[in-house]
Chains A and B, each alone.
Chain A
Amino acid sequence: MELGIPLNWVLALSAILFSLGALGVLIKRNIIVMFMSIELMLNAANIALVAFSRAHGNLDGQVIVFFTITLAAAEVAIGLAIIVALFRIKRTVDIDRAALLKW
């Protein structure tokens, strides 16, 4: 039985969500919301991986998504710790104020 959803619909959704995540990184200056946009981009890539895994009928794509979610958990923990450390120094979450390394 053929699954009713066309593959290119799923890929288009993935592409649109990825672009929205990129838009969030570009327009936001609150570092926490920028970080959430990065999570959105990770999820968009995961959708594409699951869709291709389904289309080709093997599970390797799903295993990669499993690892991506694991790494996202580690990444979020580290990233939020960095944000808290930055907030202690600067008392703000404005990304433009985090210019210690900027020439």
Chain B
Amino acid sequence: MLLKAIFALVALGAIAGAIGMLVSTNPVHSALFLVWVLFCVAAIYLMLGAEFLAIIQIIVYAGAIMVLFLFIIMLLNLRRDEFGPDPMPNQWTWGLIFSSLLAIALVSATGAATALRFSGDPLTLISIPDLARLLFTKYLIAFELASVILLIAMVGVIVLAKRMKEGA
């Protein structure tokens, strides 16, 4: 019961943060709201017994990815008029209609999942060694490919961000 209440609180916090991200006009505020949402998601991972993913979420997502976002926002150093114009007149209306239709469809589909029940005590479940075993046996090739993708991304970023010389 207590866990249910905590989950509801964290979930409402995440939703409120996501709404805050959408309504704020300053991209720095949007990024900080997204950091809050990512922390809430990490808390939900903890409640679902995924400790390793919660730590990774905070270190990689909130730590590295969002710092990169903030770094780029501040590097571009946008003036107020460069934040982008106000949305087009009907953009909010149609966006709200389509996304609420999507939300209704998805949420009503989750009703079919009530038959499934969680099992196991989340606090005594130690999943990190099992996760590592799975990662280095069944998913070994995918793991190695992920490292190759990170390398390619690194090279790609350097190529993209390099200032092109005249006539090159």
Contact = CB atoms under 8 A, between A and B. Distances in A.
B156 A4 contact: no
Nearest to A82: B160
Say which size band chain B's interface belongs to: 35 or more
Nearest to B11: A13
B116 A7 contact: yes
B152 to A, nearest CB: 8
Contacts of B61: 39, 43, 69, 72
A10 B44 contact: yes
B118 A93 contact: no
A30 B1 CA distance: 42
Interface of B: 1-4, 7-8, 11, 14-15, 18-19, 21-22, 27, 30-31, 34, 37-38, 41, 44-45, 47-50, 52-53, 56-57, 60-61, 64-65, 68-69, 72-73, 75-76, 78, 82-85, 87-88, 91-92, 94-96, 98-100, 102-103, 106-107, 109-111, 113-114, 116-122, 127, 130-131, 134-135, 138-139, 142, 146, 149-150, 152-154, 156-157, 160-161, 163
